[in-house]
Structure 1
Amino acid sequence: MASTQVERETCLRKLAQNKMRQGNYSEAIAIITCLLDRHPNNANDYNNRGFVYYQNGELDAALADYNKAIQINPDLAAAYNNRANYYAAKKQLIKAIADYDRAIDLNPLHVRALINRGITFRDLKMYDRALENFDFALRLGQLPGHAWAERGRTHHLRGDWNYAIADYRRALPFFPEGRQKQQIQAWIAEILSPFDF
């Protein structure tokens, strides 16, 4: 009977994830809220619901859920990364760096936190620190397209256009047609446009 309950909850989590991917945030939130009604001390569910709130633009609700997840489980690296994304969106970059640091301390292989911290260092115009994060993420071998693209953007903003174009071109094969590929192509065009005759 207990395994049936666990299976049902696993199915509900997958359903919530699918609803979120489809952009049906209110249904995803409702499903996760039902799970939390049953298990109010599940840090992962608070973190996941916070992520859906964040995707839906409900930033204050997202922050409340990230804080609750961290209160329940202070070692949940994903919650620190997600809360850092909230702080970065609010331009509270020092708080964001602190939370990315904590996520990476808890999980040194947390590639998303490394890339996000690199972006935040770049926003602070700390380009060398940003590049260190992207280089380490590349060494870990996960999300290489994102790491190459963000490293390229850092070189671009710093004025190292040759490095930027090389990194952008390394990033392109990792992305199918879509928004990310178009963004990288736009950055390449931005560099090359003064040279069009």
Structure 2
Amino acid sequence: MNEKKIDLSAFCMRARGFLSQGRSDDALGLYGDVIHIDPDNALAYADRGTAYAMLKKFDMALSDLERAFALGYADASAYSTVATIYFELKQFPDALKYFAQAIGLDPSYPLAYYNRSNVLHELGDDNAAIADLEKCLGFEMEEDFKRLILSRLDLLKSQQ
């Protein structure tokens, strides 16, 4: 007997709405409900992991995001989230590994280059950090983000 899988992505979208409203407990509860119904729901694990990351609950975030990856979830922003967690934990080699995976999935994802430049700077490789920031400038982006990149670029160049 073939059991048809229920599409629970609408519930994940609703949980994202809760997060945007600052209702993290409601979002986490809804993600938990989705995972309870479908323990192999990669989107719910990825989204809940991202929510935990936003709340600085890094162990739970990494656990959920790694579960999502194991289930086949492949999204540059999720890999970038894991990389950012490792950056905040000062585990720079892991951060670089996950930023490389994010960029491999979406080479036009400027936030991955921007955040990777911070890791490279922390490791003392300002030339590579500058190269990542300059790469960002080749992508379409909002003016505020562009100003942030240019400011960071000026700062790094002035320190050389």
Take 1:78 and 1:108, find their aligned partners in 2: how far apart are those partners? Answer: 7
- Aligned with 2:51 (options 68, 78, 86): 86
Q: CA deviation at 1:108?
A: 5.0
Contact 1:100 1:117 in 2 (8 A): yes
- Aligned-CA RMSD value: 2.0
Aligned to 2:103: 138
Take 1:72 and 1:172, find their aligned partners in 2: how far apart are those partners? Answer: 43
Code of the residue aligned with 1:43 in structure 2: it is: L
Take 1:186 and 1:64, find their aligned partners in 2: how far apart are those partners? Answer: 40
Aligned to 1:111: 76
**Aligned CA distance change for structure 1 residues 122 and 45 (closer, same or farther; 3 Å):** same
Aligned to 1:167: 132
Contact 1:93 1:120 in 2 (8 A): yes
> What does residue range 58-97 of structure 1 map to in structure 2 within 5 Å?
58-97=23-62
State the SS of the aligned residue for 1:57. coil
Take 2:152 and 2:74, find their aligned partners in 1: how far apart are those partners? Answer: 29
- Aligned with 2:17 (options 45, 52, 56): 52
Contact 1:42 1:72 in 2 (8 A): no
**Aligned CA distance change for structure 1 residues 187 and 101 (closer, same or farther; 3 Å):** same
Take 1:51 and 1:105, find their aligned partners in 2: how far apart are those partners? Answer: 22
Contact 1:156 1:164 in 2 (8 A): yes
Give the structure-2-normalised TM-score: 0.85
Q: CA deviation at 1:52?
A: 0.9
Aligned to 1:37: none
Take 1:176 and 1:91, find their aligned partners in 2: how far apart are those partners? Answer: 27
Aligned to 1:30: none
- Structure number with the bigger relative contact order (C-alpha 8 A, sep ≥ 6) is 2
Aligned residue pair count: 155
Take 1:181 and 1:81, find their aligned partners in 2: how far apart are those partners? Answer: 28
**Deviation digits for residues 12-67 of structure 1 (CA, Å, limit 9, x no counterpart):** xxxxxxxxxxxxxxxxxxxxxxxxxxxxx752122111101111211111111111
Tell me which protein shows more helix as a share of its residues: 1
Task: Find the structure with the greater CA-based Rg.
Answer: 1
Q: CA deviation at 1:190?
A: 3.0
Give the structure-1-normalised TM-score: 0.70
Code of the residue aligned with 2:26 in structure 1: it is: A
